[in-house]
Structure 1
Amino acid sequence: MARDAEATRKRLLTAALDEFAAYGIAGARVDRIAAAAQSNKAQIYHYFGSKDGLFDAVFNEICVRSVSENPIDTADLPGYAARIFDGYEARPEVPRLVTWYRLERPGSRDPLEIVVTSLRAKTDAIARAQAAGELPSRFTAPELLGLIMHMASLWITATPEYDPLVADVSRARRRQVVVDAVTALLAA
Protein backbone atom coordinates (compact mmCIF):
# COMPACT_ATOMS: atom_id res chain seq x y z
CA MET A 1 0.00 0.00 0.00
CA ALA A 2 2.80 2.45 0.89
CA ARG A 3 4.47 1.78 -2.47
CA ASP A 4 1.23 2.57 -4.28
CA ALA A 5 0.90 5.82 -2.35
CA GLU A 6 4.51 6.78 -3.14
CA ALA A 7 4.04 5.86 -6.80
CA THR A 8 0.91 8.02 -6.97
CA ARG A 9 2.72 10.91 -5.31
CA LYS A 10 5.61 10.63 -7.79
CA ARG A 11 3.25 10.50 -10.78
CA LEU A 12 1.50 13.62 -9.48
CA LEU A 13 4.83 15.42 -9.09
CA THR A 14 5.92 14.45 -12.60
CA ALA A 15 2.63 15.53 -14.15
CA ALA A 16 2.64 18.74 -12.12
CA LEU A 17 6.16 19.62 -13.27
CA ASP A 18 5.04 19.43 -16.89
CA GLU A 19 1.83 21.37 -16.20
CA PHE A 20 3.49 24.13 -14.14
CA ALA A 21 6.34 24.49 -16.62
CA ALA A 22 3.85 24.94 -19.44
CA TYR A 23 1.24 27.12 -17.74
CA GLY A 24 2.66 28.55 -14.52
CA ILE A 25 0.91 28.41 -11.19
CA ALA A 26 -2.14 30.46 -12.15
CA GLY A 27 -2.65 28.71 -15.49
CA ALA A 28 -2.08 25.16 -14.28
CA ARG A 29 -5.16 23.03 -13.80
CA VAL A 30 -5.37 20.33 -11.16
CA ASP A 31 -7.76 18.31 -13.32
CA ARG A 32 -5.14 18.10 -16.10
CA ILE A 33 -2.45 17.18 -13.57
CA ALA A 34 -4.64 14.46 -12.08
CA ALA A 35 -5.54 13.06 -15.51
CA ALA A 36 -1.90 13.04 -16.66
CA ALA A 37 -0.91 11.25 -13.45
CA GLN A 38 -3.76 8.74 -13.82
CA SER A 39 -5.06 9.91 -10.47
CA ASN A 40 -7.72 12.32 -9.25
CA LYS A 41 -7.91 15.81 -7.78
CA ALA A 42 -8.65 14.45 -4.31
CA GLN A 43 -5.20 12.82 -4.26
CA ILE A 44 -3.56 16.15 -5.05
CA TYR A 45 -5.28 17.77 -2.09
CA HIS A 46 -4.56 14.74 0.10
CA TYR A 47 -0.81 14.73 -0.59
CA PHE A 48 -0.14 18.44 -1.12
CA GLY A 49 -3.02 20.38 0.43
CA SER A 50 -3.53 22.74 -2.50
CA LYS A 51 -2.32 23.59 -5.97
CA ASP A 52 0.20 25.97 -4.38
CA GLY A 53 1.37 23.18 -2.09
CA LEU A 54 1.85 20.95 -5.13
CA PHE A 55 3.85 23.67 -6.89
CA ASP A 56 6.00 24.09 -3.78
CA ALA A 57 6.67 20.34 -3.67
CA VAL A 58 7.62 20.29 -7.37
CA PHE A 59 9.84 23.33 -7.05
CA ASN A 60 11.53 22.00 -3.93
CA GLU A 61 12.21 18.66 -5.63
CA ILE A 62 13.78 20.44 -8.62
CA CYS A 63 15.95 22.51 -6.29
CA VAL A 64 17.12 19.45 -4.35
CA ARG A 65 18.00 17.64 -7.57
CA SER A 66 19.78 20.64 -9.11
CA VAL A 67 21.84 21.32 -5.99
CA SER A 68 22.90 17.70 -5.59
CA GLU A 69 23.68 17.16 -9.28
CA ASN A 70 25.83 20.23 -9.75
CA PRO A 71 28.20 21.07 -6.91
CA ILE A 72 30.47 24.03 -7.50
CA ASP A 73 34.15 23.50 -8.22
CA THR A 74 36.03 26.79 -7.87
CA ALA A 75 39.02 25.23 -9.64
CA ASP A 76 36.82 24.67 -12.71
CA LEU A 77 34.13 27.35 -12.91
CA PRO A 78 33.91 27.04 -16.72
CA GLY A 79 33.11 23.34 -16.20
CA TYR A 80 30.56 24.25 -13.53
CA ALA A 81 28.86 26.62 -16.01
CA ALA A 82 28.93 23.89 -18.66
CA ARG A 83 27.19 21.48 -16.28
CA ILE A 84 24.49 24.09 -15.60
CA PHE A 85 24.09 24.47 -19.38
CA ASP A 86 23.89 20.68 -19.75
CA GLY A 87 21.19 20.50 -17.10
CA TYR A 88 19.10 23.15 -18.83
CA GLU A 89 19.49 21.40 -22.17
CA ALA A 90 18.52 18.04 -20.67
CA ARG A 91 15.55 19.44 -18.73
CA PRO A 92 14.27 22.67 -20.34
CA GLU A 93 11.22 22.51 -18.07
CA VAL A 94 13.44 23.46 -15.12
CA PRO A 95 14.31 27.01 -16.25
CA ARG A 96 10.69 27.49 -17.33
CA LEU A 97 9.54 26.47 -13.85
CA VAL A 98 12.08 28.85 -12.29
CA THR A 99 10.76 31.65 -14.51
CA TRP A 100 7.20 31.00 -13.37
CA TYR A 101 8.42 30.95 -9.76
CA ARG A 102 10.08 34.35 -10.22
CA LEU A 103 7.03 35.80 -11.96
CA GLU A 104 4.30 34.44 -9.72
CA ARG A 105 6.02 34.34 -6.35
CA PRO A 106 8.13 37.50 -6.12
CA GLY A 107 8.89 37.95 -2.45
CA SER A 108 5.61 36.37 -1.42
CA ARG A 109 7.10 33.32 0.25
CA ASP A 110 9.94 32.53 2.56
CA PRO A 111 13.06 31.71 0.58
CA LEU A 112 13.67 28.02 0.08
CA GLU A 113 16.32 26.99 2.59
CA ILE A 114 18.01 24.55 0.22
CA VAL A 115 18.54 27.32 -2.33
CA VAL A 116 19.73 29.83 0.27
CA THR A 117 22.14 27.29 1.77
CA SER A 118 23.44 26.27 -1.64
CA LEU A 119 24.00 29.86 -2.77
CA ARG A 120 25.77 30.72 0.49
CA ALA A 121 28.04 27.69 0.16
CA LYS A 122 28.86 28.59 -3.43
CA THR A 123 29.59 32.24 -2.71
CA ASP A 124 31.64 31.26 0.36
CA ALA A 125 33.70 28.85 -1.78
CA ILE A 126 34.26 31.55 -4.40
CA ALA A 127 35.20 34.10 -1.71
CA ARG A 128 37.74 31.67 -0.21
CA ALA A 129 39.25 31.06 -3.63
CA GLN A 130 39.40 34.81 -4.23
CA ALA A 131 41.06 35.39 -0.87
CA ALA A 132 43.63 32.70 -1.73
CA GLY A 133 44.33 34.42 -5.06
CA GLU A 134 42.91 31.48 -7.04
CA LEU A 135 40.11 33.53 -8.58
CA PRO A 136 40.03 37.18 -9.65
CA SER A 137 38.40 39.61 -7.25
CA ARG A 138 37.21 42.17 -9.79
CA PHE A 139 33.68 41.07 -8.90
CA THR A 140 32.41 40.09 -5.46
CA ALA A 141 31.70 36.40 -4.93
CA PRO A 142 27.91 36.86 -5.34
CA GLU A 143 28.44 38.95 -8.48
CA LEU A 144 30.77 36.36 -9.98
CA LEU A 145 28.38 33.50 -9.19
CA GLY A 146 25.49 35.46 -10.73
CA LEU A 147 27.45 36.19 -13.90
CA ILE A 148 28.41 32.53 -14.27
CA MET A 149 24.84 31.32 -13.72
CA HIS A 150 23.48 33.81 -16.25
CA MET A 151 26.09 32.94 -18.84
CA ALA A 152 25.16 29.28 -18.44
CA SER A 153 21.50 30.11 -19.04
CA LEU A 154 22.11 32.45 -21.98
CA TRP A 155 20.62 30.23 -24.64
CA ILE A 156 17.55 29.07 -22.77
CA THR A 157 16.50 32.46 -21.39
CA ALA A 158 16.87 34.57 -24.54
CA THR A 159 13.75 35.97 -26.15
CA PRO A 160 12.13 33.90 -28.92
CA GLU A 161 13.14 36.58 -31.41
CA TYR A 162 16.79 35.70 -30.76
CA ASP A 163 16.32 32.05 -31.67
CA PRO A 164 16.33 32.53 -35.49
CA LEU A 165 19.64 34.39 -35.23
CA VAL A 166 21.30 31.36 -33.64
CA ALA A 167 19.25 28.55 -35.17
CA ASP A 168 22.30 27.10 -36.91
CA VAL A 169 24.48 27.16 -33.78
CA SER A 170 24.96 23.58 -32.59
CA ARG A 171 24.49 22.44 -29.02
CA ALA A 172 28.22 21.73 -28.79
CA ARG A 173 29.02 25.27 -29.95
CA ARG A 174 26.52 26.80 -27.52
CA ARG A 175 28.14 24.87 -24.69
CA GLN A 176 31.59 25.96 -25.81
CA VAL A 177 30.48 29.60 -25.91
CA VAL A 178 29.44 29.27 -22.24
CA VAL A 179 32.78 27.70 -21.31
CA ASP A 180 34.74 30.31 -23.28
CA ALA A 181 32.74 33.22 -21.83
CA VAL A 182 33.31 32.07 -18.23
CA THR A 183 36.99 31.46 -19.01
CA ALA A 184 37.28 35.00 -20.37
CA LEU A 185 35.43 36.39 -17.35
CA LEU A 186 37.91 34.73 -15.03
CA ALA A 187 40.90 35.94 -17.04
CA ALA A 188 39.84 39.57 -16.70
Structure 2
Amino acid sequence: MKRDAQATRQRIFDAATAEFAQYGIAGARIDRIAAAAGSNKAMIYTYFGSKDELFDAVGLEQLNRHMNDVPMDANHLPDYAAKVVEHYCQHPEIMRLVTWARLERGPDAGKLTGLLDAYQRKVEAVAQAQKEGKVSDRFPAATLLELILCLIQTNAEPSAEFGDQDEFQRRQQAVKDAVALLVQV
Protein backbone atom coordinates (compact mmCIF):
# COMPACT_ATOMS: atom_id res chain seq x y z
CA MET A 1 0.00 0.00 0.00
CA LYS A 2 1.42 3.36 -1.06
CA ARG A 3 1.76 6.04 1.62
CA ASP A 4 0.42 9.50 1.05
CA ALA A 5 2.98 11.71 2.79
CA GLN A 6 0.90 14.86 2.44
CA ALA A 7 -2.20 13.19 3.91
CA THR A 8 -0.15 11.81 6.80
CA ARG A 9 1.40 15.20 7.45
CA GLN A 10 -2.06 16.83 7.42
CA ARG A 11 -3.49 14.25 9.85
CA ILE A 12 -0.57 14.89 12.20
CA PHE A 13 -1.05 18.63 11.83
CA ASP A 14 -4.79 18.40 12.58
CA ALA A 15 -4.24 16.14 15.59
CA ALA A 16 -1.50 18.44 16.88
CA THR A 17 -3.75 21.48 16.53
CA ALA A 18 -6.39 19.84 18.72
CA GLU A 19 -3.81 18.55 21.21
CA PHE A 20 -1.98 21.87 21.62
CA ALA A 21 -5.23 23.84 21.85
CA GLN A 22 -6.41 21.52 24.62
CA TYR A 23 -3.20 21.00 26.61
CA GLY A 24 -0.66 23.65 25.60
CA ILE A 25 2.96 22.95 24.75
CA ALA A 26 4.03 21.37 28.02
CA GLY A 27 0.87 19.30 28.45
CA ALA A 28 0.66 18.04 24.87
CA ARG A 29 1.84 14.49 24.30
CA ILE A 30 3.38 13.30 21.06
CA ASP A 31 2.00 9.79 21.64
CA ARG A 32 -1.57 11.19 21.79
CA ILE A 33 -0.97 13.19 18.62
CA ALA A 34 0.37 10.09 16.87
CA ALA A 35 -2.59 7.97 17.99
CA ALA A 36 -5.13 10.61 16.93
CA ALA A 37 -3.39 10.98 13.55
CA GLY A 38 -3.20 7.22 12.97
CA SER A 39 0.56 7.62 12.68
CA ASN A 40 3.59 7.03 14.85
CA LYS A 41 5.93 9.26 16.82
CA ALA A 42 8.79 8.71 14.38
CA MET A 43 6.73 10.23 11.54
CA ILE A 44 5.98 13.29 13.65
CA TYR A 45 9.65 13.86 14.34
CA THR A 46 10.47 13.21 10.68
CA TYR A 47 7.99 15.81 9.45
CA PHE A 48 8.29 18.41 12.19
CA GLY A 49 11.55 17.84 14.11
CA SER A 50 10.48 18.40 17.71
CA LYS A 51 7.39 19.10 19.76
CA ASP A 52 8.31 22.81 19.89
CA GLU A 53 8.77 22.93 16.13
CA LEU A 54 5.41 21.20 15.67
CA PHE A 55 3.78 23.78 17.94
CA ASP A 56 5.40 26.58 15.92
CA ALA A 57 4.15 25.05 12.66
CA VAL A 58 0.63 24.71 14.04
CA GLY A 59 0.62 28.22 15.49
CA LEU A 60 2.00 29.83 12.38
CA GLU A 61 -0.45 28.02 10.10
CA GLN A 62 -3.45 28.91 12.25
CA LEU A 63 -2.46 32.56 12.54
CA ASN A 64 -1.66 32.85 8.83
CA ARG A 65 -5.02 31.30 8.00
CA HIS A 66 -6.70 33.77 10.35
CA MET A 67 -4.92 36.73 8.76
CA ASN A 68 -5.92 35.55 5.29
CA ASP A 69 -9.51 34.83 6.31
CA VAL A 70 -9.93 38.21 8.02
CA PRO A 71 -7.80 40.84 6.27
CA MET A 72 -7.53 44.20 8.01
CA ASP A 73 -8.72 47.41 6.40
CA ALA A 74 -7.34 50.23 8.56
CA ASN A 75 -10.06 52.55 7.25
CA HIS A 76 -12.80 50.28 8.64
CA LEU A 77 -11.42 49.07 11.97
CA PRO A 78 -14.82 48.63 13.72
CA ASP A 79 -15.97 46.22 10.98
CA TYR A 80 -12.62 44.44 11.10
CA ALA A 81 -12.92 43.98 14.86
CA ALA A 82 -16.44 42.52 14.53
CA LYS A 83 -15.23 40.08 11.87
CA VAL A 84 -12.30 39.00 14.04
CA VAL A 85 -14.61 38.34 17.01
CA GLU A 86 -16.76 36.14 14.78
CA HIS A 87 -13.75 34.32 13.34
CA TYR A 88 -12.29 33.62 16.78
CA CYS A 89 -15.64 32.28 17.96
CA GLN A 90 -15.84 30.01 14.92
CA HIS A 91 -12.22 28.89 15.43
CA PRO A 92 -11.60 28.91 19.21
CA GLU A 93 -8.41 26.89 18.73
CA ILE A 94 -6.69 30.06 17.49
CA MET A 95 -7.23 31.95 20.76
CA ARG A 96 -6.34 28.87 22.77
CA LEU A 97 -3.05 28.42 20.89
CA VAL A 98 -2.19 32.11 21.32
CA THR A 99 -3.02 31.93 25.02
CA TRP A 100 -0.88 28.81 25.55
CA ALA A 101 2.00 30.43 23.67
CA ARG A 102 1.79 33.54 25.86
CA LEU A 103 1.57 31.49 29.05
CA GLU A 104 4.36 29.08 28.22
CA ARG A 105 6.71 31.20 26.14
CA GLY A 106 6.17 34.63 27.63
CA PRO A 107 7.67 37.50 25.63
CA ASP A 108 8.94 35.13 22.94
CA ALA A 109 5.39 34.01 22.07
CA GLY A 110 4.97 36.42 19.16
CA LYS A 111 8.29 35.71 17.52
CA LEU A 112 7.03 33.12 15.06
CA THR A 113 8.56 33.63 11.64
CA GLY A 114 6.61 36.15 9.63
CA LEU A 115 4.15 37.17 12.34
CA LEU A 116 6.12 40.18 13.47
CA ASP A 117 6.27 41.38 9.86
CA ALA A 118 2.53 40.90 9.42
CA TYR A 119 1.82 42.76 12.67
CA GLN A 120 4.16 45.58 11.64
CA ARG A 121 2.31 45.93 8.32
CA LYS A 122 -0.94 46.31 10.27
CA VAL A 123 0.61 48.97 12.49
CA GLU A 124 1.85 50.81 9.39
CA ALA A 125 -1.63 50.64 7.81
CA VAL A 126 -3.18 52.13 10.96
CA ALA A 127 -0.48 54.84 11.02
CA GLN A 128 -1.26 55.68 7.38
CA ALA A 129 -5.00 55.91 8.15
CA GLN A 130 -4.12 58.22 11.05
CA LYS A 131 -1.94 60.35 8.79
CA GLU A 132 -4.82 60.64 6.31
CA GLY A 133 -7.14 61.76 9.12
CA LYS A 134 -9.41 58.71 8.81
CA VAL A 135 -8.49 57.26 12.22
CA SER A 136 -7.88 59.07 15.50
CA ASP A 137 -4.28 59.76 16.42
CA ARG A 138 -4.99 60.01 20.18
CA PHE A 139 -2.87 56.89 20.55
CA PRO A 140 0.20 55.81 18.58
CA ALA A 141 -0.73 53.31 15.86
CA ALA A 142 0.81 50.33 17.69
CA THR A 143 -1.00 51.19 20.92
CA LEU A 144 -4.30 51.67 19.10
CA LEU A 145 -3.97 48.29 17.41
CA GLU A 146 -3.11 46.65 20.76
CA LEU A 147 -6.20 48.20 22.37
CA ILE A 148 -8.38 46.93 19.54
CA LEU A 149 -6.91 43.43 19.83
CA CYS A 150 -7.49 43.45 23.59
CA LEU A 151 -11.15 44.37 23.08
CA ILE A 152 -11.50 41.58 20.52
CA GLN A 153 -9.80 38.96 22.68
CA THR A 154 -11.79 39.86 25.77
CA ASN A 155 -15.06 39.42 23.92
CA ALA A 156 -14.10 36.45 21.78
CA GLU A 157 -13.31 34.12 24.66
CA PRO A 158 -15.11 30.84 24.09
CA SER A 159 -17.74 30.41 26.75
CA ALA A 160 -21.13 28.91 27.30
CA GLU A 161 -22.62 32.34 26.66
CA PHE A 162 -21.79 32.07 22.97
CA GLY A 163 -24.27 29.25 22.61
CA ASP A 164 -26.79 32.09 22.80
CA GLN A 165 -26.78 33.91 19.44
CA ASP A 166 -28.26 37.07 20.96
CA GLU A 167 -25.45 37.23 23.52
CA PHE A 168 -22.85 36.70 20.81
CA GLN A 169 -24.32 39.51 18.70
CA ARG A 170 -24.46 41.80 21.73
CA ARG A 171 -20.79 41.21 22.51
CA GLN A 172 -19.77 41.54 18.86
CA GLN A 173 -21.66 44.84 18.59
CA ALA A 174 -20.07 46.07 21.83
CA VAL A 175 -16.62 45.48 20.35
CA LYS A 176 -17.58 47.23 17.13
CA ASP A 177 -18.98 50.22 19.04
CA ALA A 178 -15.95 50.45 21.36
CA VAL A 179 -13.55 50.34 18.42
CA ALA A 180 -15.60 53.00 16.65
CA LEU A 181 -15.15 55.26 19.69
CA LEU A 182 -11.41 54.53 19.82
CA VAL A 183 -10.81 55.41 16.17
CA GLN A 184 -13.29 58.29 15.91
CA VAL A 185 -11.57 61.43 14.62
Q: TM-score by structure 2 length?
A: 0.90
Query: Which residue of structure 1 lines up, in the alignment, with residue 44 of structure 2?
Result: 44
Query: C-alpha deviations, 1:129-167, integer Å up to 9, x for none?
Result: 111111111000001101111111112449x8xx78xx8
Specify whether residues 114 and 108 from structure 1 end up closer, same or farther in structure 2 by C-alpha distance, changes over 3 A only.
Answer: closer
1:61 aligns to 2:58 (yes or no): no
Distance 1:57 1:23 in 2: 16
Alignment of 1:169-184 (within 5 A): 170-184=167-181
Q: Read off the aligned partner of 2:114 and give its amino acid letter.
A: I
Query: C-alpha deviations, 1:99-150, integer Å up to 9, x for none?
Result: 1111111245782232111111111111111111111110000011011111
SS in 2 for 1:171: helix
Query: C-alpha deviations, 1:44-74, integer Å up to 9, x for none?
Result: 1110111111111111111211221222112
Distance 1:109 1:99 in 2: 9
Structure 2 contact 155–175 (Cα < 8 Å) conserved: no
Q: How many residues align?
A: 183
Structure 1 contact 84–153 (Cα < 8 Å) conserved: no
Query: Which residue of structure 1 lines up, in the alignment, with residue 12 of structure 2?
Result: 12
Specify whether residues 141 and 2 from structure 1 end up closer, same or farther in structure 2 by C-alpha distance, changes over 3 A only.
Answer: farther
SS in 2 for 1:105: helix
Distance 2:109 2:169 in 1: 38
Gaps of 5+ in 2: none
Percent identity reads 48
Q: Read off the aligned partner of 1:5 and give its amino acid letter.
A: A
Q: Read off the aligned partner of 2:175 and give its amino acid letter.
A: V
Distance 1:187 1:93 in 2: 32
Query: Which residue of structure 2 lines up, in the alignment, with residue 70 of structure 1?
Result: 70
Q: TM-score by structure 1 length?
A: 0.88
1:186 aligns to 2:174 (yes or no): no
SS in 2 for 1:137: coil
Distance 2:55 2:83 in 1: 25
Is 172-181 or 99-108 further displaced after alignment? 99-108
CA RMSD after TM alignment: 2.3
